[in-house]
Amino acid sequence: MRRLSRFFVGVAAGLMTLAPATALAVPPVDLDSTFADYANVVDNVSDVEAAINTVPGKDLWVVVVDDFDGMTAQAWTMETYDKSGLEVYDGILVISVGTSEVFGYSDATSGLTEDLMSEALTQVVLDEFTAEEWDDGIIAYAENVASLMRGGTVSAGKAPNVVPLLIGILAVGGGIIGIAYIRKRKRQEGASVAQKDLAERASSELLAADDAVRAGAAELEFARAEFGFEATQEFQKTLEAAQANVSQAFQLRNLLGDDIPETPAQQQQMNTQILELSSSARAAMKAQEEGFTQLRQLASRVEEKISELETRRAEIIAALPLAKDKIAHLSHTFPAASLATLHTYPAQVETLLTSVGESLAQAHAEIAQQDRNGAVQYARLSESALQQAGQLMTRIDDAPQLLAQARERMQAGVASLSSDIEDARRLGGGDATIAARQREAEAIIARATTGTDVDLLTINDQLTEAEANLDLALTGVRQSDEVRRREQANLDRYRTLVQRDMENIDQDVTRYREAVSASTRTLVAHAQQAVYTAQNAPADQQLNHYMQAKELIDRARRALNDDLVDYQRYGGRYQRGYSSNSPASLGGEIAGAIIGGITRSIIYGGGSSSSWGSSGSRGSSGGRSSGRSTSFGGGRSGGSRSSGGRSSSRGGGSKGGFRKGF
């Protein structure tokens, strides 16, 4: 036996030697979905999520991490379970790709139990993990769980021959494991590098966009001095849109830097959006710069430009009589109310053409006075008016199709704008701009929904414009609201968790009061006071108070567990939920569990091992059952001790769980 012990110590030492000095890690998290990949190794998240969500009741939660952040697997899993506010019927499986282990936990006594979860973690699934086929392994595991919960069975795979594998371990030592680990880390590091590169590119692009916008604002001031306010109005609108994009990108960057962690998938999405917003702003500023260049070039060829504008004006004048006939023909098909605005288009076009003629005449006068920049301003005014006239003529041509679709578009526009109005009421907070845009939107909706004789083309244009204006006004507060909602959701989950734990420990103190010491009762009283303080604290301070209360509750829970263990061990009369193993018998069981766990882990890659002793459940108050514990790779389960069959881990509390290696 002593030689065998030395052999296992040697293998464990070999494994430790191969372990890297550092590893990417994530602390225990507050889960908001049934799947989270913090190691960034899953290729198709949607397929994996879909498989996990086939489990009845969506009770299975799966997390993938690089390692357990210096904690035991049990402690990390339990803290994540608690932080996430998982219920008694939920089960959580944590896959550590860097340390090649899996830890599972469930508090359920039926449905998704630990026994069922462990049974579903077959050798076939573990082999997929060993081969770094994370998608296939997780999907296979979820399918196994779903099948077992529906009364089906799974195939555990074929266990390898013990003797050849032991010979291989003795001959090769830790080399094979080391090679597999290196390959695995290369893949993880590649994904991590890609994520880091995306974040760096997003940050660099955002800074470049901010520089471009600032330079564009300065250039606009020069252009106004050179060409006048009217000639540069279009550039002002372009600048404002680019500034809005940069502002939104900075808000996303702030979200990435706050104390609420995002999953790798969320980080990728947010960094990609920052890249898109920043690129759009830079493109707009580049287009503005080109526009200024064209404006300056126009001064050198202003006579040619004036000639082009005169030709376009003449073409529209020639097409105007046909446009009037088209409108008259539409009156045979559509109600008069729907054509009201359309009937005004020819007169608007004639007014615009008159204005173009006057501006072109003034441009000629400026050239005669040797003021080419002055002529450019009039040429641009003429061009803008011609563009408006051309748009009106195009709308006359497109009127039959636009009118046929107008009522359906109006209904969709009303629904979309109504949603924005609700956001304005909820988020406006007295902002004058939002309030003004909200009133405008409400007035337009009132016109659209009152009576049947409405000018559909006009009302649709007004709905579109009102929605764009209200969206722009709401941009900043919507980002802030998203942060507030995330914080509130986090607070709600933590409040529920703390209140549940407080109720449970209070019930346990009452139930086991014969064994509970004065010091433990004092801790419980302090925890109760902390919960009361948290409930009555200002909203922005409640989360910190609940976190403090949770620490006190956890301390009280550990003290209570120790009281019960000592009470049973030293001859107390209350022995509910405990067996009466002798110290000698207990030592033999511990030794057998440790050696058996090591052997199974090396031979089978972490087979399931039933925990020794009785289950040790804490009465009927909904407390955790001790579960199943299996160690691998020469390790053992977190410094656990026994008190008549109850497994109580100092590192992770008195909760159980099962662990397997791959």
pLDDT 10s digits, 479-496? 777 777 777 877 888 888
Nearest Cα to 379, choosing from 395, 368, 366, 390? 366
Q: What are 169's two structure tokens?
A: 């371990």
Contact 498, 531 (CB under 8 A): yes
Looking at the fold, whether 42 and 139 belong to one and the same domain comes out as: yes
Q: State residue 339's pLDDT score.
A: 81
Q: Is residue 22 situated within a structural domain? A: no
Please give the Cα distance from 444 to 474 (Å, whole number): 18
**Structural domain includes residue 15:** no
Structural domain includes residue 620? no
pLDDT at 67 over 80: yes
Residues 6+ away with beta carbon under 8 Å from 237: none
Comparing 156 with 255, the larger pLDDT belongs to 255
- pLDDT tens, 582-638? 333 333 333 333 333 333 333 333 333 333 233 333 333 333 333 333 333 333 333
Examine residue 453 and state whether it is found in any structural domain, yes or no. no
Indicate the range of 7-16, 84-93, 268-277, 459-468 predicted with least confidence: 7-16
Is the pLDDT at 264 greater than 60, yes or no?
A: yes
Distance CA 439, CA 425 (A): 11
Q: What is the pLDDT confidence band of residue 570, given thresholds at 50, 70 and 90?
A: low
Question: What radius of gyration, in Å, describes the C-alpha atoms of the chain?
Answer: 36
Q: Are residues 135 and 57 in the same domain?
A: yes
The residue among 514, 538, 569 that closes a domain is 569
The proportion of the chain whose per-residue pLDDT surpasses 70, expressed as a percent, equals 75
Q: What pLDDT shows up at residue 661? A: 81
Chain position carrying tokens 């340390």: 99
Residue 339 DSSP code: G
Most distant CA pair in the chain, distance: 115
Structure tokens belonging to residue 625: 């059952």
Which residues have a Cβ under 8 Å from the Cβ of 196 and sit 6 or more positions away? none
Which pLDDT score is estimated for 451? 65
**Same structural domain, 53 and 120:** yes
Could you tell me the two tokens for 635? 């390790």
Under DSSP, is residue 467 helix (H, G, I), strand (E, B) or coil?
Answer: helix
* φ and ψ at residue 95, rounded to 5 degrees: -110, 115
- Tally Cβ neighbours within 10 Å of residue 69: 16
Same domain, 141 and 210: no
Confidence of residue 346 (pLDDT cuts 50, 70, 90): very high
For 130-153, the pLDDT digits (tens) are 888 999 999 999 999 988 888 888
Which has the higher per-residue pLDDT, 214 or 604? 214
Q: In terms of Cα–Cα distance, which of 23, 65, 40 is closest to 198? A: 40
Average pLDDT of the segment spanning 28-45: 91
* Dist CA 406 CA 427 (whole Å): 31
pLDDT score at 349: 93
pLDDT of 277:
92
Within-domain flag for 513: yes
What share of the chain in percent tops pLDDT 90?
14
Contact 250, 227 (CB under 8 A): no
pLDDT band per the 50, 70, 90 thresholds, residue 572: low
Q: Are residues 121 and 222 in the same domain?
A: no
> If you ran DSSP here, which 8-state letter would residue 105 be given?
E
Q: Residue 297: which domain range?
A: 193-302
Q: Average pLDDT for residues 111-129, to the nearest whole number?
A: 89
Count of domains in the chain?
3
Which of 211-220, 536-545, 567-576 shows the lowest per-residue confidence on average (mean pLDDT)?
Answer: 567-576
- Please identify, among 261, 276, 302, the residue that sits at the C-terminal boundary of a domain: 302
Q: Give the Cα separation of 473 and 478 in Å (integer).
A: 10
Identify which has the larger pLDDT, 268 or 649.
268
* pLDDT score of 48 more than 70: yes
Using CA atoms, how far apart are residues 348 and 576, in angstroms rounded to an integer? 92
Kindly list the distances between the CA atom of residue 73 and the CA atoms of 306, 319, 619, in Å, as whole numbers in the listed order. 78, 79, 26
Residue 132 sits in the same domain as residue 77:
yes
What pLDDT is attached to residue 1? 39
The whole-chain average pLDDT of the chain stands at 75
Is residue 540 included in any domain, yes or no? yes
Mean pLDDT of 452-468: 82
Using one digit for the tens of pLDDT, what is the confidence trace for 648-659? 333 333 347 888
Pairing of strands 646-649, 640-643: antiparallel
Q: Which helix (H) or strand (E) segment is 35 a member of?
A: strand 35-37
Q: Cα(258)–Cα(28) distance, rounded to whole angstroms?
A: 17
Q: Which residues contact 429 (CB under 8 A, 6 or more apart)?
A: 477
308, part of any domain: no
Contact in structure between 245 and 208 (CB atoms under 8 Å): no
Which whole number is the average pLDDT over 66-76? 85
> 119, 150, 181: which is the final residue of a domain?
150
Domain-located, residue 346: no
The confidence score (pLDDT) of residue 571 equals: 53
Confidence of residue 64 (pLDDT cuts 50, 70, 90): very high
Q: What is the mean pLDDT of residues 267-293?
A: 86
In this structure, what is the dihedral angle of CA atoms 541, 544, 547, 553, given to the nearest 10 degrees?
A: -60
Strand order in the sheet with 101-106: 35-37, 60-65, 91-96, 101-106, 658-661
Q: Classify 44 in phi/psi space as left (phi over 0), alpha (psi -120 to 50) or beta.
A: beta
Distance CA(640)–CA(180), nearest Å, equals 30
Take residue 526 and report the two structure tokens written for it.
């302090």
What is residue 181's three-state secondary structure? helix
Size of the chain, expressed as the number of residues it contains? 662
Which positions ≥6 away from 187 have C-beta within 8 Å?
41, 132
Tell me the sheet residues that pair with 641.
648
pLDDT at 332: 81
CB burial readout 123-157, b (16+ within 10 A) else e: bbbbbbbbebebbbbbbbbbbbbbebbeeeebebe
Task: Between 625 and 260, name the one with better pLDDT.
Answer: 260
Long-range pairs of 286-293 with CB within 8 A, sequence gap ≥ 24:
286/212, 287/238, 288/216, 288/219, 288/220, 288/235, 288/238, 288/239, 288/242, 289/216, 289/219, 291/234, 291/235, 291/238, 292/219, 292/223, 292/235
* Beta carbons of 184 and 662 less than 8 angstroms apart: no
CA distance 645 to 49: 38
**Which of 159-163, 180-184, 253-257 comes out lowest in average pLDDT?**
159-163
Q: Are 578 and 645 in contact (CB under 8 A)?
A: yes
